[in-house]
Copies of this chain bind each other. A is one copy, B any other.
């Protein structure tokens, strides 16, 4: 662990720098697979599934029988846990519904804004060792509340051509309309172009490895929107002497076990707390099943001592953490002042894992400093805002002159003419 004491502001950018990866090699592979899927559709998808997942099978759409089997196989306590988490995620995202914003900006000029669902969305759920059924909840629940008509889920098959039953269970429970056994670049390409088996979608959500990340970036060049650019997961904790070292250590480790490239930072106004957390990390690390992964992430982690809360807040806003845990005597100061963070966890009994699973907030959050300019996934991520205006003959008389003058000044005579014709007609009607 790297301990840093009182870094001067001119060193913050370099201290807080995230490791960058070159993606040039990957880009070529991704482009090739996109071209193949665009041209050959399901044939190409099957080829890459065999190549990357090592399995071949006929029907890549999950059947009702497969879902039934998954439902039957899942232990009851896990079903109950999922139900509780789903209920909380639902409550929080239901509450994000907005109503039409309507304003008569001038007499006879009625303007309003309405949000309407994105009609077709695609959710990508990675496979691998950790079956991320929690991410199914985080994406499918708001998609359903938003009213998206088509909710497609793609996830890679295992060696036997199956998707983890917990993922199938959650997808079915949350109203996913189609589950496809396809992963990686070929899944993203399939949802971008559409194949016989995979529907084309308008927006793709969800995490993934660097191949999936680059594939999602490429998808945006073909008219598809994505939730946000992705990067390794991050946690920054600010803690003073009111924090509990064992809790802080457990939070930093829960971030560290995600991957060797996870970003883990502790900022503290207490050297005693910094040392105590460091000590606790060593103790807890020993017994973790994913010790090998967490150890590497922890080796790159940073413990930063700063003189006071004001400096700490400035430094944290400069970093813009994905997850931000606040355990200090001045929590309100941080909560009020934080400008750049994905999700904020306040107090000793609010571990990051609460937000990862069950508090109700969304765990799909901006990493890599994107908290400065991107929202985490929320209900609005599944909708788009549209505006409407309805102008009466009185209304156009009220604003028409201004439009004519401005259009004229911008040299757009046809724009002016569209108003002049209408004003002339009204004048003519009035004379009759």
Chain A interface, number of residues (Cβ within 8 angstroms):
127
Q: By the criterion CB–CB under 8 Å, are B118 and A373 in contact?
A: yes
Please tell me which one of the listed residues B118, B133, B389, B414 contacts residue A256 in the complex, with CB atoms under 8 A apart. B414
Q: With A84-B399, A343-B389, A390-B346 known to touch, is A356 a contact of B415 (CB < 8 Å)? A: yes
B350-A132 in contact (CB<8A): no
* A119 located at the interface, meaning its Cβ lies under 8 Å from any Cβ of chain B in the complex: yes
Cα distance A98–B395 in the bound complex, in angstroms: 27
Say yes or no: is A14 at the interface (Cβ < 8 Å to chain B): no
Tell me which of B92, B101, B202 contacts A103 (CB under 8 A). Answer: B92
Q: In the assembled complex, which residues on chain B have CB atoms less than 8 Å from the CB atom of A3?
A: none
Q: Which residue of B lies closest to A383 (CB)?
A: B375
Given A351-B419, A359-B111, are A409 and B133 neighbors across the interface (CB < 8 Å)?
Answer: yes
Cβ-defined contact, B418 with A349, below 8 A: no
**Are A422 and B253 closer than 8 Å at their CB atoms?**
no
A64 within 8 A of B: no
Counting chain B CB atoms within 10 Å of each CB, the highest count among A102, A358, A361, A368 belongs to A358
Q: Are B361 and A419 in contact (CB under 8 A)?
A: no
- The reply to whether B405 and A78 form a contact with Cβ atoms under 8 Å apart is yes
Cβ of A399 and Cβ of B359 under 8 Å apart? yes
Inside 8 A of A195's CB, which chain B residues have their CB? none
Residues of B with C-beta under 8 A to A95? 101-103
**Copies of this chain, count:** 2
Is A370 interfacial (CB-CB < 8 Å)? Answer: yes
The contact string, 1 if C-beta is below 8 Å from chain B, for chain A 269-300, is: 00000000000000010001110001000000
- Asked if residues A371 and B384 are in contact (CB atoms below 8 Å), the reply is yes
* A129-B411 contact given A81-B405, A390-B350, A405-B78, CB 8 Å threshold: yes
Alpha-carbon distance A133/B81, docked complex (angstroms): 56
Does any Cβ of B come within 8 Å of A37's Cβ? no
Give chain A interface residues in 3-33, CB to chain B under 8 Å: none
27 A–B contacts, CB within 8 A, in A order: A81-B402, A81-B406, A84-B399, A111-B361, A119-B340, A131-B411, A202-B372, A225-B370, A244-B425, A247-B425, A254-B417, A254-B418, A258-B412, A288-B414, A288-B417, A289-B411, A290-B413, A344-B386, A344-B389, A351-B418, A354-B419, A357-B406, A358-B406, A360-B389, A361-B389, A376-B385, A376-B387
Q: Chain A residues in contact with chain B, CB under 8 A?
A: 77-78, 80-82, 84-85, 87-88, 91-92, 95-96, 98, 101-103, 105-106, 109, 111, 113, 116-119, 129-134, 166, 202-203, 220, 223-225, 229, 244, 246-247, 250-251, 253-254, 256-258, 284, 288-290, 294, 335, 338-362, 366, 368-376, 378, 380, 384-393, 395-396, 399, 401-403, 405-407, 409-419, 421-422, 425-426
Q: A203-B373, A257-B415, A351-B396 are in contact. List 7 more A-B contacts (CB 8 A).
A: A81-B405, A88-B109, A95-B101, A96-B101, A202-B372, A254-B417, A349-B392
